[in-house]
Structure formats: structure tokens, C-alpha cells
Chains A and B, each alone.
Chain A
Amino acid sequence: MEIITQPWPWYIAGPVIALIMFLLFYFGEHFGVSSNLETFCSIGGAGKYTNYFKIDWKQNIWNLIFIVGAIVGGFISAQWLSPTDNVVLNPQTVQDLADIGIQNAGASYLPDEIFSIETMLSFKGFLVLLIAGLMVGFGARWAGGCTSGHAIVGLSNLEIPSLISVIGFFIGGLVMTWFILPLIF
């Protein structure tokens, strides 16, 4: 039990993710989470606005069920498999975050400065969450995949488009982390 309740190291997590990808293909489907966002749009009636969303979303039900499972997995893990909620960080990371206005880094999984209810209910806090989501959703569909579809499946399959996308992920991520985040808080 001790082994399960400890944070899992990368050499466990990476192979488990590879196994998940293998299983999804073995079951006749694929691994890609962001396409669910388009399915949401189709279910919500976005087909009225553009043909792009006029798809038979029922063929994507398996993927919706996969994310329902992911939600349940997150619940199980939080309730029974994680006795502590702190994240052990590099002291330098904690210092860097304090310098840009994020205190108590690592005390829980997420910083209150972005995810607390109070922050969410403030105008700026709500906007930060919304814009982050907009960029993820728009970017993932423009690029044709997110971390699962491009970084894991695409790179495994030696896809040049995925390599370009992952380079893009890093350009965007580095610009946000190094230059934009310090201006926000």
C-alpha cells in the first residue's frame, strides 16, 4: 500500500501511459483527449454554425466514456490513494514562484492564486482561467492534437507534424512561463 500512496516516479508513470495508449489501440480506438472538446461542441449543437461540427458524435462515445473514467480515477486517487496533497518541488522552483507572486508553492497540487474559489470569482481570476482554456482548446484543435495525440502517439509513431507541434507546445510554454506569468500575479 505504501508504494501506491507514495507519489509515483516517472519510470512508473511513463510505462503506464504507454500501456494506456497500447490498450486503446488494442481495443480498436486511439489515444487523444482534445477531440472530446469537438464532440462537446457537436453535442451542444455547434453544427448549426459550421459544418465542421456536423459529425456523427455517437462514434466518439467511447472517448467520452474514457474521460468519465478519468474523472472517476481522479476521484478515487484523491479520496483513497493520496494521504497527502503536497508536491515536493525543487527549492529553486519554490523561490522562483515566490518571486513572481505565487506563495506556498507545493503545499497542494494547485496554486490558490489561480484555482481557489475566491480567485475564480474575481474578474481577473476568471479571465485567466477562461483564456487559458480558450488557448488550450483552440490551439489543440488547430494543431490537430494535444499532449496525448501529438506528444505521446505522434512522437511514438515518428510523425513530423507531431514533432513540429511539440516544438510549438514548448515555444508557447516557455514564453508563458518565463515572460508572461511574471506579469500576471
Chain B
Amino acid sequence: MKHVKFFLVGILFGIVMSKAEIISWYRIYEMFKFQSFHMYGIIGSAVFLGMFSMLFFRKKMVKTFEGNDIHVAPKKKGMYRNLLGGILFGLGWALAGACPGPMFVLVGKGVVSILVVIFGATFGAFFYGLFKDKLPH
């Protein structure tokens, strides 16, 4: 039962991704063509408000529902990892028109072909795990 809340937040996530058309391939294309403000407004306003959340967490003004401090794990440092991994991700994002969250939302919309993309993404993660020691980080 303790997982029901994640299910409900997931539903909200699926609805907002759909209703704001973030799961549309065209919205991603349009963003990379700088032909619409939509995606920039979404990411920008989410980050702007998110900064306040982070501030509240850091100042311990907000704790978890169980009363624990909220620690946001720092991201791993490394120019190669972040830049090269990021570039590869970006190439895939613009081709699939979907990042990992929207991929799952599209399954719910009934898009069969997105399963090939999810299959590929899972193997992508697998190959990363397999070759990570040979990659620059």
C-alpha cells in the first residue's frame, strides 16, 4: 500500500505529459527548431519553481512525510560523461521525439511502435553497463 502514492503521482505525470503534448514528437522537433516557446516555457517554469523546492529542502523547511531530512543526491562530476552521454541522449531524444518518461506515457496512449524504442533504450542501458569501464567519464 505504501506504493499507491507513487502510482497516483505517476498518473498525474502521464496526464500532464499527454495534455501538454510533451509526448508529441512534433513538440520536440519544434523545440530544436526554435519555432515555439512551449517546451522552453515548460522546462523553464518547472526549473524555476523547482529551485524553491530545493531551497526549502536544503534549509530543512520541508521534510519527507515521515519527518526525515530531504537530501538531493549530487550528480556525478565529469566532463566526458556528462557531455558525451548528453550528446548521445540528445541525438536519440530528437530522433525518437521522446525521452524516457514520455516513452512510457505513449505506451498508455496505445502506440505499439514505441515498444521498439523502449526495447532499444533498455539495451542501450545494458550496453552502457557492459562497456562503462572502457568509456571516458
A residues near B (Cβ < 8 Å) are 4, 7-30, 33-34, 36-38, 40-41, 44, 46, 49-50, 52-53, 61-63, 65-78, 81-82, 87, 89-90, 92-93, 96-97, 105-106, 109-111, 114-117, 119-120, 126, 128-162, 164-178, 180-181
Q: Is the CB of B111 within 8 A of A110?
A: yes
What residues of chain A lie closer than 8 Å to B35, measured between beta carbons?
A: 89-90, 92-93, 96
Residue of B nearest to A176 (CB): B94
Q: Is the CB of A135 within 8 A of B91?
A: yes
Complex interface residues of chain B between 78 and 133 (CB less than 8 A to chain A): 78-79, 81-101, 103-114, 116-130, 132
Q: Is the CB of A25 within 8 A of B72?
A: yes
User: For chain B, which range describes its interface: under 10, 10 to 19, 20 to 34, or 35 or more residues?
Assistant: 35 or more
Q: Would you call the interface of chain B mostly helix, strand, loop, or mixed?
A: helix
Among B22, B79, B85, B111, residue most surrounded by chain A Cβ atoms (within 10 Å): B85
Bound Cα distance A36, B107 (Å):
15
What residues of chain B lie closer than 8 Å to A133, measured between beta carbons?
A: 92, 96, 116-124
Q: Which of A8, A10, A65, A169 lies in contact with B90, CB distance below 8 A?
A: A169
Q: Is the CB of A164 within 8 A of B82?
A: yes
Mark each residue of chain B from 5 to 17: 1 if its CB lies under 8 Å from any CB of chain A, else 0. 1111111111111
Q: Is the CB of B108 within 8 A of A140?
A: no
14 contacts between A and B (CB under 8 A): A27-B6, A37-B100, A37-B125, A40-B125, A50-B130, A66-B6, A69-B12, A92-B35, A111-B26, A132-B92, A135-B124, A140-B85, A148-B101, A152-B43
